[in-house]
Every structure is written in C-alpha cells, then in structure tokens.
Amino acid sequence: MNIIEGTGVIYKSVIDMDNVKIIFKLLRYTGTPFLIREILQRKKVTMLLFHDIDPIKCENQFKVLRKKYNIISLKEYFDSRENNTFKSLPSKSLIITIDDGNKNNYLLKPILKKYNIPVTIFLCAGIVGTNKHFWFSHNLNKRTIEELKNLPNSQRLNFLNKYGYTEEKEFCSRQALSKDEIENLKEFVDFQSHTIYHPILPKCTEKEAQKEITLSKKILEEKYHLETYVLSYPNGDYGEREILLAKKAGYKYGITVDAGYNDPKTDPFKLKRFNIRDDSDVDELLVKASGLWRYIMNFIKTHFPQMYTKMPPIFSIWR
C-alpha cells in the first residue's frame, strides 16, 4: 500500500505499480491500441511528451515507437501545414517532444544520433545554463506540487519561498541543460520555448504571463541563437489570454497536453499531445501513444469526477 503525504492530506492507494502494469498489458492485448493506430492515427499526426527520460529507457521506447509509427520532426509537420502538403506526410506520423530541458536530456544524444530520431526540446529559458532549479523539483511531495499548481502565482511563489526556493536562487548543482550542452545538441535537436521559470500561466497576472512568454523567446534567441517560434505551455495550462500573448510575442504555434491527434486544421495554438511517463514499459507506452489512456481518463473525469479525484497520482495524465 502506498501512502503519499500531502499538505495535511494522507493519501492512500491500494493500487500499486504492478497492478497498473497489468492494466496496461490487458489494454494493449485487447488490440485497441493497434486499431486506433491503423484507423484513427493513420492519417493524423500524433505528438508525444516526455520529460526526464533516462537513456536506456529512451532507447527501448524510441525503438518501439519507430516500429509502430513513422517519426517525423515538428518542423516537418509545420512545413506540411504551411505548404499544403499534409497528405504527403507518412502515415501514422509521430512527433517526439521533451519538456523542461532537464540536464539528463544531454545523455540522449548518442541515441538520437544512432537512430536519427528528430526531437524538439522545450526549454525553460531562465533555468537552462544556470544552477537555478525547477520549482516542482524542489523537495516537495507530489500532492503538494499538484496543490501549488492551483494557487495564484504569487501565492505559489510565497509558499516556495518559505521552503527555501526562489526562481532566481542559484543552487550548488544544476538541474537543467548547460549552454554548452544545448550548443552541442543543436545538430540533433530542435529547441523551443517552455517559458522562463515554468509557472502555471493562467494563474499568473497578465504582466507575469507576458514576461514569461515574451522574454523566454528573447533569451533563447539572443543568448542561444535559437529560432524560437513554438511555445509549450507549462503543465499544458493555457487560456485565450496566453494564446493572445504568444501571438503578440511572435510565436507561430502553441503546444498543449490536450488529448487528440493533429491535422492541418488543428488550431496552431492548441496543438494536441499525449504525455508519456518517462519510465513506461512497452505496454504503457503503446497504450498511451495511441491516446487510449487519455480517452479512458477523460471519460472517468467527465462521468465519475469524484472517482477521478480520488485516483492515485499514477493514473493522472501527468504520470
């Protein structure tokens, strides 16, 4: 039994990882992910999201994805939209994206090189190249982190401040990619923006949101010489205000974690993506890459909201 202590909440779960693995295995062997791939995903572009994946897991996962899908770059998809050539993209096109810019992303270089797999990494422009930390990695339990995401930005920062974290604080060790590593990866990786410090944008004041969206682009362009035109909304959270701010800042595309597949008509600032747990096994990977998991979760969330909120974090779309 897992017991996860939150801020005043003791959270109990009888569902452990082994049981969840069985659920994914069963779902995979129903053949549903296969049917989804062959029917729904065949003429669409599927986008996946990873975070801090280790090289061994990465190699296994990317090898499986290569077998089942055709991996293309984000730019190939954008070019097909802009040049009206969407139909000439390979069937079951799949794009791999990685959010945050964790330092371990550098270890993926040999794999990207070996398999010639294009990826886009979305960087927190104020954290890469420094010893500043991601706020959600600051020694807090998962439930507290989830609770903080719901607070107004200033309250979240005040809370973190009490626990020794500020956005500007330089720690002894780094969590994100260094400037040299980014430079070194440029040949294999497309880098885009994931704001400066990864706030929950809709919880920010307009001024804060504008700074995060606009300045991150500027930093990546001026300090890292990156052509920055895509924004990945931190935590997948955005609203009409964020879309407007992104457009004003000069972005051409915005990436969410809304469930679904992309085609030439998908709103360019609401591109859809499925989150994959970094250490998923093959069953979980294929179930999640097909979108089946998100549709099941969304169904439970809509029709059984109380059950959904009581589900262990492993069931969340972020796990």
> Applying CB under 5 A, which residues contact Zn ion?
99-100, 234
Residues 245, 269: Cα–Cα separation, whole Å: 11
Q: Which of 287, 284, 282 is closest to 63 using CA atoms?
A: 282
The phi, psi pair for 243, rounded to 5°, reads -65, -45
- Alpha-carbon distance of 64 to 54, in angstroms, equals 16
Which CB, 129 or 234, lies closer to Zn ion? 234
Q: To which H or E segment does residue 71 belong? A: strand 70-71
Provide the minimum distance between the beta carbon of 165 and Zn ion in the complex, in angstroms, as a whole number. Answer: 16
Q: How far is the CB of 134 from Zn ion (least distance, A)?
A: 8
The nearer residue to Zn ion, 126 or 234, going by C-beta atoms, is 234
d(CA 244, CA 274): 24
* CB of 91 vs Zn ion, minimal distance in Å: 30
Indicate the residue among 100 and 242 with the shorter CB distance to Zn ion.
Answer: 100
Q: Which CB sits closer to Zn ion, 134 or 315?
A: 134
| Closest CB to Zn ion: residue number | 99
The smaller minimum CB distance to Zn ion, of residues 25 and 174, is found at 174
Q: Give 101 or 291: the residue with its C-beta nearer to Zn ion.
A: 101
What is the dihedral sign for C-alpha 210, 213, 217, 223?
positive
99 vs 208 by CB, closer to Zn ion: 99
Shortest CB 79 distance to Zn ion, Å: 25
Smallest distance, Å, CB 296 to Zn ion? 23
Minimum CB separation of residue 234 from Zn ion in Å reads 5
Please give the full DSSP string across 190-234, using - where no structure is assigned: EEEE--SS---GGGS-HHHHHHHHHHHHHHHHHTT-----EEEPG
Q: Are strands 2-5 and 10-13 parallel, antiparallel or unpaired?
A: antiparallel
Q: How far is the CB of 301 from Zn ion (least distance, A)?
A: 21
Task: Provide the b/e sequence for 32-55 (b: ≥16 CB within 10 Å).
Answer: ebeebbeebbeebbbbbbbbbbee
Distance CA 134, CA 172 (A): 14
Beta-strand pair 274-275/253-255 = unpaired
